[in-house]
Amino acid sequence: MQDSFLTRNEFYGGQFGLDGEWRLGRWFLGGTAKLAMGSMHQIVVIDGFTSSSAAGTQRGGLLALPTNIGHYSRDTFALVP
């Protein structure tokens, strides 16, 4: 029995942010804030098989069932802090 799950996330977008610093004598305090926005392309490929001497090789494993085996993808809007 073998299951195979391949995943990939591809982010296409831009980022903007702020950078600041406050100084008082030899003390300082700095900070940075960034936010990225764009499209996230998500891909998953599910495959699996079960092999036995009596039944031969059948499609589907323990978690990769014949009902969910395949190639799936979607695009969604993403915010990345």
Domain ranges of the chain: 2-80
Average pLDDT for 19-44: 96
Mean pLDDT for 31-37 is 96
Instruction: State whether residue 64 is helix, strand or coil.
Output: coil
Give residue-wise pLDDT tens across range 40-79: 999 999 999 998 888 788 888 889 998 999 999 999 999 9
Q: Is 61 helix (H, G, I), strand (E, B) or coil?
A: coil
Its pTM stands at: 0.69
The Cβ of residue 7 has, within 10 Å, a number of other Cβ atoms equal to 9
- The pLDDT value recorded for residue 17 is 96
For residue 42, what are the contacts with CB-CB under 8 A and spacing of at least 6?
Answer: 7, 8, 9, 10, 73, 74, 75, 76
Torsion of CA 64, 70, 76, 79, to 10 degrees: 40
